[in-house]
Amino acid sequence: MESHPWQTAPIVGISRHRLATDGEGVTTLVVFHGCPLQCKYCLNPHTLSPETVQPIYDTELLYEEVKIDELYFLATCGGVTFGGGEPCLRSEFIREFRQLCGEAWNLTVETSLNIPRQHLETLLPIINHYIVDIKDMNPDIYRKYTGRNNDQSINNLKWLAKQGMAKHITVRIPHIPHFNTQEDIDRSVEQLKEMGFSRFNIFTYRTY
């Protein structure tokens, strides 16, 4: 009998029993390697370094490892949160993982949305919640901080809103020392409210 050709991806961390940090209920955070941005204060620099040890998981192996907490997921409306790095670049992996875990778990992605649209089209039917790290809506601030333009991120955010997903999206707007101000944050919030978003996570990066 021929084995199933499972999707594979480099995963640099799996963190269990997280509560109120990565979505609803009890969650397990799965951290992918690789990101299109070069943020000045990257919170997970090990997801960028080519020297980082990158265990390769297939979807079946990951499912077998995380399903130990299924009772917690079901009891608290929790599940698996995919972070990174940029998890949406692993859309086919996540799609296949959904086929294995079924519909009962909540699946969340923590994303910059600075990705080609086709990944979101793959994820739309299977993701329950998006945590979007928008950085700042001001294109100059975004470019100085990430090294990239934010056109793709904002267009993808608008597209998700048009798909009726605004109430399932939490937008993170950090105060980034030396890059944006409280006034910049207030302007970002106003722009996002005009786009139909109402769930925000505003906090300050700790830099050293």
Q: At what angle do helices 91-101 and 59-66 cross, to 10 degrees?
A: 50
Domain 8-204 grouped into CATH 3.40.50.300: no
Domain ranges in the chain?
Answer: 8-204
State the Cα–Cα distance between residues 35 and 15, nearest whole angstrom: 19
What pLDDT is stored for residue 53 in this prediction? 66
Cis peptide before 85 (omega within 30 of 0): yes
Residue 180, C-beta contacts closer than 8 angstroms, at least 6 positions apart:
136, 138, 141, 145
Local mean pLDDT, 10-residue blocks, the chain (208 residues) = 75 91 90 93 82 86 97 96 96 98 97 98 98 97 96 98 97 95 97 96 84
What pLDDT is stored for residue 22 in this prediction? 82
Q: How many CB atoms lie within 10 A of CB 151?
A: 11
What pLDDT is stored for residue 1 in this prediction? 37
What pLDDT is stored for residue 3 in this prediction? 57
Per the CB < 8 A criterion, the answer to whether 176 and 135 are in contact is yes
Which one, of 50, 64, 55, 42, lies nearest residue 112 by Cα? 42
